[in-house]
């Protein structure tokens, strides 16, 4: 799903940019994360301690996708950092695909593998 959906890929790129720029409140205001989820993401990124960079195109080819049923998917994609490239820090997005072109990113989380 994610590999073929430019809208979802662009939304995930924007989310990564918000996290990279430490705009955690924007995650909340745009409806991608609750306040608690945004705090958890901030804590995970801070604890990880490396500089996050924008996702390269190949990141989407390596993403894991899980069909949760009812047009609901979970995508896990590795963050990339300046010093290590693909990292152990993972972005998890729950995505509702309402039709071929429309989607809603329902929640965003981060964790270290």
Using CA of residue 10, residue 12, residue 17, residue 22, what is the dihedral sign? positive
Average pLDDT over residues 94-99: 87
Indicate the average pLDDT of the chain: 92
Domain boundaries, the chain: 2-112
- Global pTM reads 0.92
* Buried/exposed code over 73-96 (b: 16+ C-beta within 10 A; e: otherwise): bbbbbbbbbeeeeebebbbbbbbe
Dump the DSSP string for 25-66: HHHHHTTSS-HHHHHHHHHHHHHH-S-EEPPPTHHHHT-EEE
pLDDT value of position 11: 93
- The pLDDT tens digits of the residues spanning 20-68 come to 999 999 999 999 999 999 999 999 999 999 999 999 999 999 999 999 9
pLDDT value of position 21: 96
Tokens 């890929």 sit on residue: 9
pLDDT value of position 112: 87
Q: Are 33 and 15 in contact (CB under 8 A)?
A: no
Q: How many residues does the chain have?
A: 113
């Amino acid at each position: 799903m994610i590999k073929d959906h430019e809208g979802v890929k662009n939304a995930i790129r924007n989310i990564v940019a918000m996290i990279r720029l430490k705009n955690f409140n924007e995650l909340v205001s745009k409806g991608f994360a609750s306040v608690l989820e945004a705090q958890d993401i901030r804590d995970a990124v801070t604890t990880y301690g490396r500089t996050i960079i924008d996702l390269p195109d190949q990141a989407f080819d390596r993403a894991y996708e899980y069909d949760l049923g009812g047009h609901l998917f979970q995508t896990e994609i590795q963050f990339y950092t300046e010093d290590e490239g693909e990292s152990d820090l993972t972005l998890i997005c729950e995505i509702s695909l309402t039709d071929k072109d429309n989607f809603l990113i329902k929640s965003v989380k981060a964790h270290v593998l």
